[in-house]
Structure 1
């Protein structure tokens, strides 16, 4: 029983960010309902739903969701209320025509700017709600804006006050996860030079990395939004994100060179140097990932430099022995593409070392700061 409880605690601890979001959403919905009822709003439901929508994983994302939802709601309420007041309508036929007039332009605008999706919904509510409650369109528009305002402000306040989560801390986690994915992909792809790699496996590896890169870029935008509003501090996210993106490109290039194994005689000469390069780079990237996640620690890049120098020396020996001249054109292209990609990766790992130094103070530095 104790072991089971420990496993459950460890699993929940690994999902503390998601648990904090669940708590914030629950608090946001309850608070929005209580405030809406206290203010005697006509439909507290919309205040609650809005609060759930704007309560996001990070403060930066909540700010964007609040801004977009409020702009869409106000725009939809003004447009829906205006056509309802200015265009006389009675009966279902005229109401249907008015609905078309309300939906088509707003849906077109939302297709151009998805952040205004709520405008179409708001305009429809403003038009249809008076027919259900025997009220006028102007009152419906005002009620809708008030309900959404209460929900949006409540959700935003809860995002700041209840277990707040900053996008900067999420960048550490997302960047660490992506570096681990890249290191695993790099090891797999480099091994393909001696045993080959099928296209399905290659696409599967790259697709997973692509999704992780997209998520990291989105989190970076949220972090910069927080920084611009002085809601969080920390290093500039741009250099770290750009460096990881370049490392992803390196992995893609190495993957293209690894689809077909190298000729057997070259494999025999490069097997050990490539294995050392793979182990050194994978170990370094995992060390950086662990350090980023913890926010402290160091990672030694010296083994990477040594392994790449040994590989370059063996390549030079191969060329001196004339083994490259006899290669078919496609094999020669893959061989030189591999060397170029590894050199580019070395430069980008050097940039990663610099970014790591900005994001993670060493233990000695932190001890000095604490003293």
Structure 2
């Protein structure tokens, strides 16, 4: 039983295990290659291989590019200072160190991808002094050491349990859609019972972290596509659609700051609950479809629920039940209807995007009669 639980936990961490295996293989291979080439400091080849071995091929590509550019720039600058400026004592060496670090540290502050330049310049400057070596030879060795480590790590990322960002984005986007569904459910439930602010804050924090992860993974996926290392749907429409859904949740949150007045709750609690259930279920269904590479679930329940809510709002207005609302409450009430209809339109876009990510053959779109999208906005 304990063994099966252990294997279950390991399977749940298979991405992390794969990264650990790639890092081990990269470090071992880099040390073997650096030793075979009789490089001065195989340590830098090993460290570089670990730095560029990332969680996805796209991230490894970026790390390799950044580290190589920074290393070459730092080696040229550090080598030039060492050769062109005479120095003999510790005080002069200190002045050269300041001259080497200050401009490169400033450049790295402006462009963090060049952080390796500062480290490389310091190594090129100090290693020859400590070991009485040729400065130019030290700079060349440093570049070769980093090149061996970088290209070894990149090759391992391609060949050993490779992980594509284009695959990872499915999981990241699915998790974000589930968080949006949870936030929407909590917000709409608050219209009748009040909000659980602690739960809502936890969900909102999760959405923020998931958005950062999704955008980073999307950039890596596009890097892979540009290098023709992966194929599939463009990540742009998916990211933009999910971001719009996130904005819809923010607008719904602003419109549902306080519960509805009791007379409106009695009329709208049922339609609101159906809208919440339909949209949340559709978002979770799309998350599962995106992960599995299947077609999105039918969207007609969302149309039915939002249209039913709009019809009930129209009846409430015709009975003049909104006449006595304070101005701010009336504004929130009508903003809620607009936001729900806007979310419905963005879910239609999500249906199209998830279908583009599907690995299954296209299917004909069929919806039950009477579920066509209303041209009237909810709450109009």
Aligned to 2:194: 196
Shift, 1:196, TM fit: 2.1
- For 1:344, which of 342, 360, 375 is the aligned residue? 342
Shift, 1:200, TM fit: 5.3
CA contact (8 A) 1:202 1:255 kept: no
CA contact (8 A) 1:130 1:136 kept: yes
Aligned to 1:38: 36
When normalised by structure 1's length, the TM-score is 0.95
Aligned to 1:99: 97
Cα-to-partner distance string for 1:190-222 (whole Å, 9 max, x where unaligned): 111112226555443322201111111111111
Aligned to 1:67: 65
Shift, 1:258, TM fit: 2.0
Note closer, same or farther for the CA distance 1:291–1:6 as it changes in structure 2 (3 Å cut). farther
Aligned to 1:268: 266
CA contact (8 A) 1:194 1:267 kept: yes
CA contact (8 A) 2:241 2:346 kept: yes
- 191-200 vs 66-75, greater mean Cα deviation: 191-200
Alignment pair present for 1:211 and 2:216: no
Cα-to-partner distance string for 1:300-344 (whole Å, 9 max, x where unaligned): 211111111110011101111111121111111111111111011
Aligned to 2:376: none
Shift, 1:297, TM fit: 4.5
Shift, 1:269, TM fit: 1.1
- What is the rounded CA distance, in whole Å, between the counterparts of 2:5 and 2:333 in structure 1? 47
Shift, 1:262, TM fit: 1.4
Aligned to 2:220: 222
CA contact (8 A) 1:25 1:52 kept: yes
The number of residue pairs the alignment matches comes to: 363
**SS of alignment partner, residue 323 of structure 2:** coil
CA contact (8 A) 2:27 2:47 kept: yes
Aligned to 1:22: 20
- For 2:294, which of 272, 293, 296 is the aligned residue? 296
- For 1:259, which of 247, 257, 260 is the aligned residue? 257
Which runs of structure 2 are paired with 1:109-188 in the superposition (5 Å)?
Answer: 109-188=107-186
CA contact (8 A) 2:23 2:50 kept: yes
Shift, 1:259, TM fit: 2.1
Shift, 1:65, TM fit: 0.5
- 191-200 vs 136-145, greater mean Cα deviation: 191-200
- What is the rounded CA distance, in whole Å, between the counterparts of 1:105 and 1:252 in structure 2? 43
- What is the rounded CA distance, in whole Å, between the counterparts of 2:52 and 2:254 in structure 1? 42
Cα-to-partner distance string for 1:21-74 (whole Å, 9 max, x where unaligned): 111111101100110111111111100000000011111111110000000000
CA contact (8 A) 2:295 2:355 kept: no
- What is the rounded CA distance, in whole Å, between the counterparts of 2:359 and 2:311 in structure 1? 35
Higher helix proportion (structure 1 or 2)? 1
CA contact (8 A) 2:45 2:149 kept: yes
Aligned to 1:51: 49
- What is the rounded CA distance, in whole Å, between the counterparts of 1:363 and 1:78 in structure 2? 54
CA contact (8 A) 2:26 2:49 kept: yes
- What is the rounded CA distance, in whole Å, between the counterparts of 1:93 and 1:301 in structure 2? 74
CA contact (8 A) 1:196 1:258 kept: no
**SS of alignment partner, residue 275 of structure 1:** helix
- What is the rounded CA distance, in whole Å, between the counterparts of 1:88 and 1:113 in structure 2? 30
Cα-to-partner distance string for 1:152-177 (whole Å, 9 max, x where unaligned): 00000001110111111001110111
- 190-199 vs 277-286, greater mean Cα deviation: 190-199
Cα-to-partner distance string for 1:74-126 (whole Å, 9 max, x where unaligned): 00010011011111112111111111111110011011111001101111111
Structural RMSD (CA): 1.4
- What is the rounded CA distance, in whole Å, between the counterparts of 2:240 and 2:362 in structure 1? 28
**SS of alignment partner, residue 161 of structure 2:** coil
- What is the rounded CA distance, in whole Å, between the counterparts of 1:29 and 1:83 in structure 2? 32
Note closer, same or farther for the CA distance 1:77–1:35 as it changes in structure 2 (3 Å cut). same
**SS of alignment partner, residue 232 of structure 1:** coil
- 142-151 vs 131-140, greater mean Cα deviation: 131-140
